[in-house]
Chain A
Amino acid sequence: MSAPLDDATTTHTTETTAMTLIEARNLRKTYRLSKTNRVEALRGVDVRIEAGEMVAIMGPSGSGKSTLMHLLGLLHLPDAEDGPAPEIRFGGRDLGRASDGERTRARAREMGFVFQAFNLVPVLSAQENVALAGEYAGVPGRRARRAAEEALALVGLSGRAHHLPSELSGGEQQRVAIARALVNDPAVVFADEPTGNLDSARTAEVLGLLRDLNRTRGQTFVIVTHDPDVGAACDRIIRMRDGLVVGEEVRLANAA
């Protein structure tokens, strides 16, 4: 009687730690635009991202949602002064004060990024753009190219692999960017306004793709967005205002 119970508790605790992908605490960030002009972009934020979740970070301009994504994505470091020590636990490791090299390595191997402006390298073909992320993660050239082909197939762009970004539509370019984010099978993909430059038909297309990748592959997504439709498609919405988290909504209808 007691043995199964013990097992259950053990299983339960391991599961919660394994399920939590990112746990961040005490995130503060102040940007000094000039000597006198300081912007408090984040004023103490705690955030937890579960593995397999599709989370939206929403809020008005200047609410700190992009800054939060930059910190979680290890593109910037949180402020360590003037308050309790910040922490960004990623798969158990605290990377909140890691060196540039360590953070770059984590970005290359364990994270994917999708930006509003697509941000593909203009002189590289779709396939080369995707393979580039593989190479930066240390995958040898031929394997990176094969992985790129698979990732492009996943976003339905196999036929456009050898086109330059300038030869692709906005929606197609964003799908290439998503393929690039997925090519290393990352633990999490951060997307900053991924539909911000797309019309409503393309928005629905890209959103459907993200939703599908989340459902079928369990891909974790953290999406910064203005768009209520994007928020509505996510499992959970973190709402921000003036550099603080002001609310959370869990959308049971979407949660798997």
Chain B
Amino acid sequence: MRLLRNLSRRKLRTGLTVAGITIGIWALVVFSAMAAKIDALVQGGSRYYADKVLVTDGTVAGFGMPMQLAAGDQIAAIEGAEVVVPSVSLYAEELQGGVSLGNASQVLGTPAGADQGRETFVVGLTAGRELTAADEGTDVAVIGSDVARQRGLGVGDTIRVRGRDFTVVGVMEPTLTAPDTTISVPFTTAQRLLHDGLPPIVRDQVAAAGLVSQFIVYPAPGSDPEALAREIEATVDHTNAMTGAEFDETVGASLAVFNTIVVGIGLISLVVGGLSVVNTMAMAIAERTREIGIRRAIGARRLRIVREVVTEAGLIGLIGGLTGLVLGTVVVLLANEAGRPTGTILFELTPSTAAFAVAFATVLGMAAGLVPAWTAARLDPVEALRHE
């Protein structure tokens, strides 16, 4: 209390110091939030791909060429492929050739219960119910948390996907990764949507019921997913099989580079912010040399001086850290809100990021105060008293 009042009596110096810390912590919060979001995406992918093999069409590098449902039987016949789940995925809106940086909403359809309990990446619901086999042929959907938030939808509302109206029957809990932007619909419904979206020439040659985007293959316990993937590619024509390890290597590695850059920027802002804190703190204490001389002369012990100054510096750090956190949070929320319509959610401010930022500012303030405090406490009091 008394400390706060003392600080408020030194408004200019306190204000400048707090502002310096605020900027550093603000940058730290924003960049950490960005890194956390990227990290969550990578982690989510890594968890999703763990212990399974994802089989997609291998004729064209890239995304989106449909496969034939019949290929599933070929895969299932391979030794080590225990459960094979056909899956349909497509963008909720037809893309105009552009690529979205974030996660544009995806429509996903798999036969309910087809994984026979093998899926470990289970997303719970915050409202409503899961899709069941009885839903096949009806236009119902379970939507991701971002989709729900962004469009203000709840159970019972109607969501329009590719010109069709779906009734929302469930809302998924937030995962920070792909399911948040996903619209789950019954498998056959997804097949029809996929079929409708094909170029007319292709569409006329295939039936909707035979279309699949990918197969999710769960290996038999104890078998090597890597060997299974190679076997699938060798046995089934035009397939590309990816394992969790491959995902970590390719997608994970490229995202990790980006993540390193973002964290690097965060660290640079941290160092710059940190140095400005050290500088302002040293200036603030140098200005008080005389006052410290008075305190020493009338009997303050060195450690007491150090303690007083370091406590005050820590308090300044704490105030700056909290201010920076608030400003950073505002920026993150505004940026996410602005990016929501296009599905570009770049930031995820986690409680641990917030706690770290504030703790870091406090510790940095104290550390920044320590050296000048000790120097000042060691000054000859008579010398310090002559200081203007």
Interface set of A (CB-CB < 8 Å, partner B): 70, 75-76, 100-101, 104-105, 107-109, 111-113, 115, 117, 119-124, 128, 132-133, 136-137, 164, 180
For residue B291, CB closer than 8 A to chain A, the reply is yes
Is A113 a contact of B298 with CB atoms below 8 Å? yes
Is A105 a contact of B291 with CB atoms below 8 Å? no
For residue B320, CB closer than 8 A to chain A, the reply is no
Known contacts A121-B295, A122-B291, A123-B10; is A75 also within 8 Å of B382 by CB? Answer: yes
Q: Which residue of B lies closest to A66 (CB)?
A: B382
Interface of B is mostly: helix
- The interface size bin for chain B is 20 to 34
For residue B380, CB closer than 8 A to chain A, the reply is yes
Q: Which residue of A lies closest to B5 (CB)?
A: A123
For residue B300, CB closer than 8 A to chain A, the reply is yes
A166 to B385, CA, bound (A): 18
Q: B238 — which chain A residues lie within 8 A by C-beta?
A: none
Q: What's the minimum C-beta distance from A111 to chain B, rounded to whole angstroms? A: 8
Q: A108 — which chain B residues lie within 8 A by C-beta?
A: 298-301
Q: A105 — which chain B residues lie within 8 A by C-beta?
A: 299, 301
Interface flags for B296-324 (1: CB within 8 Å of A; 0: not) read: 11111110100000000000000000000
Is B10 a contact of A132 with CB atoms below 8 Å? no
Could you say which of B9, B299, B385 contacts A136, with CB atoms under 8 Å apart? B299
25 contacts across the A-B interface (CB closer than 8 A): A70-B382, A75-B381, A75-B382, A76-B380, A76-B382, A100-B302, A101-B301, A104-B301, A104-B302, A105-B299, A108-B299, A115-B385, A117-B385, A119-B290, A121-B291, A121-B294, A121-B295, A123-B9, A123-B10, A124-B6, A132-B295, A136-B298, A136-B299, A136-B300, A180-B298
Q: Which residue of B lies closest to A122 (CB)?
A: B291
Q: A180 — which chain B residues lie within 8 A by C-beta?
A: 298
Is A104 a contact of B299 with CB atoms below 8 Å? yes
Q: Which residue of A lies closest to B9 (CB)?
A: A123
A108 to B299, CA, bound (A): 4
Extra contacts, 6 of them, besides A107-B299, A115-B385 (Cβ < 8 A), are A104-B299, A109-B299, A112-B298, A122-B9, A136-B298, A136-B300
A132 to B10, CA, bound (A): 18
Q: A136 — which chain B residues lie within 8 A by C-beta?
A: 295, 298-301, 304
Q: Which residue of A lies closest to B388 (CB)?
A: A117
Is B297 a contact of A113 with CB atoms below 8 Å? yes
Q: B385 — which chain A residues lie within 8 A by C-beta?
A: 115, 117, 119
Q: A70 — which chain B residues lie within 8 A by C-beta?
A: 382
A112 to B299, CA, bound (A): 9
Q: B299 — which chain A residues lie within 8 A by C-beta?
A: 104-105, 107-109, 111, 133, 136-137
In the complex, which residues 10-44 of chain B have their Cβ closer than 8 Å to any Cβ of chain A? 10
Q: What's the minimum C-beta distance from A71 to chain B, rounded to whole angstroms? A: 10
Is B9 a contact of A104 with CB atoms below 8 Å? no
Q: What's the minimum C-beta distance from B209 to chain A, rounded to whole angstroms? A: 81
A105 to B299, CA, bound (A): 6
Q: Which of B6, B293, B301, B380 has the most CB of A within 10 A?
A: B301
A113 to B301, CA, bound (A): 16
Q: What is the number of contacts between chain A and chain B, taking CB atoms within 8 Å?
A: 60
A164 to B6, CA, bound (A): 11
Q: A128 — which chain B residues lie within 8 A by C-beta?
A: 2
Q: What's the minimum C-beta distance from B292 to chain A, rounded to whole angstroms? A: 10
Q: What's the minimum C-beta distance from A108 to chain B, rounded to whole angstroms? A: 2
Q: Which residue of B lies closest to A121 (CB)?
A: B291
Q: What's the minimum C-beta distance from B215 to chain A, rounded to whole angstroms? A: 73
Q: Which of B290, B291, B294, B300 has the most CB of A within 10 A?
A: B294
Is B382 a contact of A104 with CB atoms below 8 Å? no
A107 to B301, CA, bound (A): 10
Known contacts A75-B381, A123-B6; is A104 also within 8 Å of B294 by CB? Answer: no
Q: What's the minimum C-beta distance from A244 to chain B, rounded to whole angstroms? A: 21
Q: B294 — which chain A residues lie within 8 A by C-beta?
A: 119-121
Q: What's the minimum C-beta distance from A183 to chain B, rounded to whole angstroms? A: 10
A117 to B291, CA, bound (A): 12
A164 to B385, CA, bound (A): 20
Q: What's the minimum C-beta distance from B378 to chain A, rounded to whole angstroms? A: 9
Q: Which residue of A lies closest to B6 (CB)?
A: A123
Chain A to chain B: the 3 pairs with minimum beta-carbon distance, closest first? A108-B299, A136-B299, A123-B9
Q: B300 — which chain A residues lie within 8 A by C-beta?
A: 104, 108, 136
Q: B297 — which chain A residues lie within 8 A by C-beta?
A: 75, 107, 113, 115, 119
Q: B9 — which chain A residues lie within 8 A by C-beta?
A: 122-123, 164
Q: A113 — which chain B residues lie within 8 A by C-beta?
A: 297-298
Q: What's the minimum C-beta distance from A222 to chain B, rounded to whole angstroms? A: 15
Q: Which residue of A lies closest to B386 (CB)?
A: A117
Q: B6 — which chain A residues lie within 8 A by C-beta?
A: 123-124
Interface flags for B350-388 (1: CB within 8 Å of A; 0: not) read: 000000000000000000000000000000111001000
A76 to B290, CA, bound (A): 17
Q: What's the minimum C-beta distance from B303 to chain A, rounded to whole angstroms? A: 9
Q: Which residue of A lies closest to B380 (CB)?
A: A76
Q: Which residue of A lies closest to B7 (CB)?
A: A123
A180 to B385, CA, bound (A): 17
Q: What's the minimum C-beta distance from A205 to chain B, rounded to whole angstroms? A: 23
Q: A107 — which chain B residues lie within 8 A by C-beta?
A: 297-299
Q: B290 — which chain A residues lie within 8 A by C-beta?
A: 119
Q: A101 — which chain B residues lie within 8 A by C-beta?
A: 301
Q: Which of A105, A112, A119, A132 has the most CB of B within 10 A?
A: A119
In the complex, which residues 255-305 of chain B have their Cβ closer than 8 Å to any Cβ of chain A? 290-291, 293-302, 304
